[in-house]
Structure 1
Amino acid sequence: MSVERSGPGSITDVPGVRVGQVTRRGGGWLTGVTVVLPPPGTVAGVDVRGGGPGTHETDALDPRTLVPTADAVVLTGGSAYGLVTAHGVQRWCAERGRGFRVGPGEGEVVPIVPAAAVFDLGRGGVFAHHPTEEMGYEAAAAADSPAGAHVERGTVGAGTGALVARRFKGGVGTASVRAGGAVVGALAVVNAFGAPLAPGATRGGAVPGEPLGTAAALNTTIVCVATDAALDPAETSRTASAAHAGLARALDPVHTLSDGDTVFALATGAVALPTGRGERVADLVRLQAAAAEAVRLAVLDGVASAEEVEVGGEPVPRWPG
């Protein structure tokens, strides 16, 4: 299995994966929610490495637990307040019978909807303007519409109020990479304390500019990786772990005490991998290397796609690199 890099692509290059976003800007709002909607039966995993995470239902994705699948992944603004958007996505899934069945009757399911949040509170001007349950429902419905095959980038969805390097605009980015017969895609919400790193950039340099205030130093980059490879829960979780290398290549520093860096992984199971131990391990290594590369590209895409906005009445420019 070889790794092929052929342009930025999108997480929706993975067959069956769709994305819906809701954006709120103006009138004190600068936030939003992004929902990744995979095919039913998709295996899920997660790896949380930041020191200040805001998450929901991540324990359910441990390979040692009962349910190996997820019905949707929610990436949201609003810090811990924004995690209520997962309830809206659960409601949308339950209305369509998507979820872990717990009884014989219609609607007797529990949708598994893990979520992670970035800090953007008050950046639109009103602290209490953070994503709502209804915004989560709307984002899930958008993912299930024809528009769900196209991922809008930049200052949208959960990346609407995102910052990088304390005073430049972050946003939503996406990319895909082929690994032999499998596709690996990533979607990143880039709201990082660290500075973006273009190929060949020097690490450990000073972050340019002055911070916008205390809230600018509260961050998080959250990512969803998806592949059409057939992985078991342990392999899917390991893919999430490996994908964190892409964050470390694209941002400096990363995984800090004030970041809540979290990577979800989804495996739809359409493309079988070899069953022989040696061949399977080799293909998994290549697949996971592709996941890290897709994350790196998605992070840089999110920064490059962002547009200038105002935070607290002060213009926030795009990253100069």
Structure 2
Amino acid sequence: MIVTGPTDSLLDVAGLQVGHWQRLDPEVTVGTPEVPGTGAATGCTVVLADPSAVASVDVRGGGPGTRETDLLDPSHSVQRVDAILLTGGSAYGLAAADGVMHHLEKNGRGIPMGAPGAVVPIVPGAVIFDLPVGQWSVRPTADSGCSAAQSASAEHLARGSVGAGTAARAGALKGGVGSASVRITDGPAAGVTVAALMVANPVGSVFDPVTGMLWGLDAARAEELGLSAPSASDLAAARALTDKGTVLNTTIGVVATDAPLSKAACRRVAVAGHDGLGRAIRPAHSPLDGDTIFALATGTAEPAEGSATASIPAFPDELPVLAAVCDAAAVVVERAIVDAILSATAVADIPTYRDVLPSVFGR
């Protein structure tokens, strides 16, 4: 059984902080092949782990933009990371990771290299394609990454059209940053927290054109959030948007847990997270998406007694806990994508789900 975490966000995993940087001008337009966009709309989001966290990654999209993901292969030597960068700006935005590294180096964070102050921070990252929103030439830089890292907080996590989600789109709708968390209450993983932070910017649709409800919402969750079926007129308006999406998008994010997991286990958690992505976005993992999920394990929780698999020598002791965490990973990714869509605010005349289907919210 799982229950929603205290803040229903990535911050429910102790040791993690999240910071955003964004630039959003008052007058922003979406560019076309014939007419460039105007104004600026982009940003980046940084997840800091203090102390460092065991990490891995699973890349499913056919067009990813990433940094240091090879390092996270379970067969490779480095086990832990200091931060994860999620950024706009397509491949240009990966420059923001340099700023995160500079911030960490200044604070003595990273792999010690012997000499005083000599450290190498480990900062993997992934990008979304948001360049057509606003001026093509405005994207996150090293200074942007440094600012996001400096602003990181364990107390508050802004959601919606902020950070890496500033110019995110979800098909024809506005995307953004969303988060969710659950606490496992029984079984070998009792007491373990699992959470996700996702930047929803998919090619695929996030809502069912037949019902108008978000793909990632079952009836129980919709009732919990106070959402109901839309009116016929709202549903017709939503259906009219289904063919007006984009083709060069992606959804990226982080799944984290306080369970003490190995790097190989983190890879399996990242894989499971994509199940949640597939539930909330249809289609997912397209040839032009760059869908990427990082997994972090801080190891600050103690699994329940009797969780080992000593009676099955071929299996690792962490397997029962890992199985429960993987189940929860799919749930929090799905919920975080829903949260991103519900939290988004309009940018550059890209409508939000709330704008198109107000009757779902009783308006």
So what's the TM-score if we normalise by structure 1?
A: 0.90
Structure 1 position 38, deviation (Å): 1.1
SS at match of 2:352: coil
Residue of structure 2 equivalent to 1:49: 60
Measured in 2, the distance between the counterparts of 1:181 and 1:210 equals: 42
Q: Is the 8 A contact 2:200 2:341 kept in 1?
A: yes
Measured in 2, the distance between the counterparts of 1:72 and 1:208 equals: 41
Matches within 5 A, 1:231-310: 231-273=261-303, 274-277=307-310, 280-310=318-348
So what's the TM-score if we normalise by structure 2?
A: 0.80
Q: Give, as a single letter, the amino acid of the residue that structure 2 aligns with 1:135.
A: S
Q: Is the 8 A contact 2:103 2:146 kept in 1?
A: yes
Measured in 2, the distance between the counterparts of 1:269 and 1:17 equals: 12
SS at match of 1:128: coil
Structure 1 position 3, deviation (Å): 2.8
Structure 1 position 210, deviation (Å): 6.4
Amino-acid identity (%): 46
SS at match of 2:81: coil
Q: Is the 8 A contact 2:5 2:193 kept in 1?
A: no
Identify the match of residue 226 of structure 1 among 250, 256, 263: 256
Moved more, 25-34 or 248-257: 25-34
Matches within 5 A, 1:93-172: 93-102=104-113, 104-124=114-134, 126-143=135-152, 147-165=153-171, 167-172=172-177
Measured in 2, the distance between the counterparts of 1:207 and 1:220 equals: 22
Structure 1 position 4, deviation (Å): 2.8
What root-mean-square deviation, in Å, do the aligned CA atoms of Structure 1 and Structure 2 show?
Answer: 1.9
Q: Give, as a single letter, the amino acid of the residue that structure 1 aligns with 2:95.
A: V
Mark the CA change 1:6 to 1:110 in structure 2 (over 3 Å): closer, same or farther: closer
Identify the match of residue 32 of structure 1 among 43, 56, 79: 43
- How many residue pairs get matched? 304
Q: Is the 8 A contact 1:122 1:128 kept in 2?
A: no
Residue of structure 1 equivalent to 2:187: none
Return the structure number with greater strand share: 1
- Residue ranges of structure 1 left out of the alignment (5+ in a row): none
Q: Give, as a single letter, the amino acid of the residue that structure 2 aligns with 1:88.
A: G
Residue of structure 2 equivalent to 1:176: 181
Q: Is the 8 A contact 1:8 1:174 kept in 2?
A: no
Deviations 1:180-231 (A, max 9, x none): 2111110000000111114359xxxx97426668xx3110000101111100
Measured in 2, the distance between the counterparts of 1:184 and 1:160 equals: 25
Q: Is the 8 A contact 1:185 1:225 kept in 2?
A: yes
Matches within 5 A, 1:181-192: 181-192=191-202
Structure 1 position 148, deviation (Å): 4.0
Structure 1 position 79, deviation (Å): 0.4
Higher-Rg member (1/2): 2
Q: Give, as a single letter, the amino acid of the residue that structure 1 aligns with 2:17.
A: R
Measured in 2, the distance between the counterparts of 1:96 and 1:234 equals: 29
Residue of structure 2 equivalent to 1:18: 17
Q: Is the 8 A contact 2:42 2:89 kept in 1?
A: yes
SS at match of 2:266: helix
